Amino acid sequence: MKARKARGNLLLLLTAMIWGSSFVAQSAGADVISPAFFNGSRMLLGSLVLAPLAIYRIRRYVPDTSRRTLVIGGMCCGVLMFTGSYLQQVGMAYTTAGKAGFLTALYVVLVPVLGIFLKKRPKPVLWISVALACVGLYFLCFTDTSFRLSTGDTLVLSGAVMFAFHILVIDHFSPLVDGVCLSFVQFVTAGSLGLIVAFLTEQPSVAALSAAAVPILYTGVFTMGVAYTLQIVAQKDTDPTVASLILCMESVFAVIFGWIILHEMLSLREGIGSIFMFVAILLAQLA
């Protein structure tokens, strides 16, 4: 039993590392490809990675009576996933990978706050978490001379709000249908939306697809296909609170990989803000 928990925790840590490193890939992709085309391509690639397993599980574990719920749930999740990812990807062009990682991780605080409207009463520690997150946000995003969010920070934060709604929708549908199949439907939906928006509002091209091949392959195969599957497998063998705490390391890995690969450096002020926000995220897991 202990060995299974240890394996599960290691797999979750690997998941957090992959998700954190994906901010670097997204930052690189933002320089060479339009956001909707990038997200549509990588999400459809993720669906292809999951397709064999998902099709097998749909045939074996999803009865006809629950397939309508699977499609509706997957489509709802896919719309929110695309919207959040699109806002995040647009914002990545105007902010650093490390900062985007911490701002995106705010969804952990937002989920229990939004849960209040669903009559889910939070623990008092949540309000401490919210206060710390606000302090962290101030240090991370506001300068001494400007009391306003930058364009990139605002877009990434808006994406975090969408991810918070995404978590709540998953929380509703995941007990009703198979998790891998739900992920597959949401990837297909989100990827299809991405390509539709790209062809309506952008100028997608084979040249852009070729230039962003490495970020698309990495985020499509590893971030979408591998990491989401690892999360589902790992959480069966570990405590959900422990799992949430480990996955919080995503934001830390975003800073580490941004520093190693992109040579991005957080200022002292941004570092202080990151610490406040990380503590807020950890406390939110206990709410």
More confident residue, 162 or 237: 162
CA-closest candidate to residue 126, choices 140, 111, 148, 138? 111
pTM of the model: 0.83
- pLDDT for 62 equals 85
- Interatomic CA distance for residues 108 and 123, integer angstroms: 14
The domain of 18 spans: 2-285
What percent of the chain stands above pLDDT 90? 31
Task: Flag whether pLDDT at 235 surpasses 70.
Answer: no
The domain total for the chain is 1
What percent of the chain stands above pLDDT 70? 91
Q: How confident is the model at residue 239 (pLDDT cuts 50, 70, 90)?
A: low
What three-state secondary structure class fits 248?
Answer: coil
Please answer whether residues 20 and 251 qualify as being in contact, where contact means their C-beta atoms are separated by less than 8 angstroms: yes
Sign, Cα dihedral of 85, 90, 93, 99: negative
Task: Flag whether pLDDT at 266 surpasses 80.
Answer: no
What are the residues whose beta carbons fall under 8 Å from the beta carbon of 11, sequence distance 6 or more? 230, 233, 234
Give the other-Cβ count within 10 Å of 90's Cβ. Answer: 20
Task: Flag whether pLDDT at 241 surpasses 60.
Answer: no
Residue-wise pLDDT tens digits, 140-193: 776 655 556 788 889 999 999 998 888 888 878 888 888 889 889 999 999 999
Q: How confident is the model at residue 242 (pLDDT cuts 50, 70, 90)?
A: low
Q: How confident is the model at residue 78 (pLDDT cuts 50, 70, 90)?
A: very high
Geometric angle at alpha carbon 209, from 203 and 213, rounded to 5°: 155
Range ranked top by mean pLDDT from 8-12, 154-158, 246-250: 154-158
- Interatomic CA distance for residues 232 and 225, integer angstroms: 11
**What secondary structure letter does DSSP report for 117?**
G
Residue-wise pLDDT tens digits, 34-66: 999 999 999 999 999 889 989 999 888 888 888
- pLDDT for 219 equals 92
Please answer whether residues 177 and 57 qualify as being in contact, where contact means their C-beta atoms are separated by less than 8 angstroms: no
Structure token digits, residue 287: 């709410």
